[in-house]
Amino acid sequence: MTESQAPSSLSELAAIADEAARTATAIPQFTHSQPLGVEDAYAIQAQSFARRMARGERMVGIKMGLTSRAKMIQVGVDEVIWGRLSDAMRVVDGAEVALSRYVHPRLEPEIAFLMGAPLSGKVSGAEALAAVAGVAAAGEIIDSRFENFSFALPDVVADNSSSSGFVVGKWNDRSTSIQNLGMVLEEDGRPAQIGSSAAILGDPVRSLVEASRMVGEAGLVLQEGWIVLAGGATAAIPLQAGSSYRIVVEDLGSVGFSAQA
């Protein structure tokens, strides 16, 4: 925690971030009004998510962010980050998603890991993969609650790293190679983004290694049964009411939903 931030200030910012997400309301950028470090931002994220759990939500995993060069360029930062996933954020494959739940909803294609054993701290790629039970095509709905989709890195982290929703397809055997799979994000049946899983830190397993390290530093453990989203393989696209979206990943299958006002 920086000296400029008292615990009460962080708690107040956590309440603001939580309420903005709960009510789908845009808020001013935190860093416009006061200094905020990344460590502070993760403390705000944790406190904000704790408010969600106090309302009955359950933590079911984490998402990794800014793991592709496209994403780093899109938001103007160069650090890998992470956020928390709750059961209330999950979208069922083929469902209709109400965009009224979000402020600036966007979608990006991802690969998801299903944890088959606990994992935390510094591990090798082989050790990380040994803790995986399955892999799947996935998509993440990101939604910055900050006005005009404008933010600095601490703002993003404090806002649960922009994580708002996720959809996961059928699970495939963990032995399925995911290092360089073709990935297509379709909008109304037409390709909107085309990429490769290799865009995720060169290999999505490296993202899982980073996830283990980062949650370990936060005193957490990736639990058996949790989902880990490896990060977007392409730039995200804005969601439009009345359109349908599908993520197709080579060898892993597809998953999607439709968007409604």
| DSSP per-residue string spanning the chain | --TT--HHHHHHHHHHHHHHHHHT--B--GGGTS---HHHHHHHHHHHHHHHHHTT--EEEEEEES-SHHHHHHHT----EEEEEEGGGEE-TT-EEEGGG-SS-EEEEEEEEEESS-B-SS--HHHHHHTEEEEEEEEEEE---BGGG---HHHHHHTGGGEEEEEE---EETTS--TT-EEEEEETTEEEEEEEGGGTTTSHHHHHHHHHHHHHHTT--B-TT-EEE---SS--EE--TT-EEEEEETTTEEEEEEEE-
Model pLDDT, residue 3: 43
Tokens representing residue 91 in the block: 């979208």
Of 180, 170, 222, 224, nearest to 203 (Cα)?
180
According to the model, what pLDDT value does residue 95 have?
98
- Superfamily of structural domain 7-260: Fumarylacetoacetase-like, C-terminal domain (3.90.850.10)
In order of 103, 124, 197, the CA distances from 189 in angstroms are 25, 39, 21
Check residue 73 and give its pLDDT: 75
Taking the domains of the chain in order of start, what are their residue ranges? 7-260
Q: Give residue 75's pLDDT.
A: 65
Per-residue model confidence (pLDDT) at position 43: 97
Distance CA 194, CA 206 (A): 21
> Is the dihedral angle over the CA atoms 148, 152, 155, 156 positive or is it negative?
positive
Confirm if 30 and 155 have CB atoms less than 8 A apart.
Answer: yes
> Nearest Cα to 10, choosing from 110, 157, 131?
157
Q: Please give the pLDDT value at position 8.
A: 52
The predicted model scores a pTM of: 0.94
Intervals of the chain under pLDDT 70: 1-8, 70-71, 74-75, 77-78
Alpha-carbon distance 25 to 18, whole Å? Answer: 10
Q: For residue 192, how many C-alpha atoms fall within 13 Å in the half-sphere facing its CB?
A: 20
**Taking a C-beta distance cutoff of 8 angstroms, is the pair 209, 128 a contact?**
yes
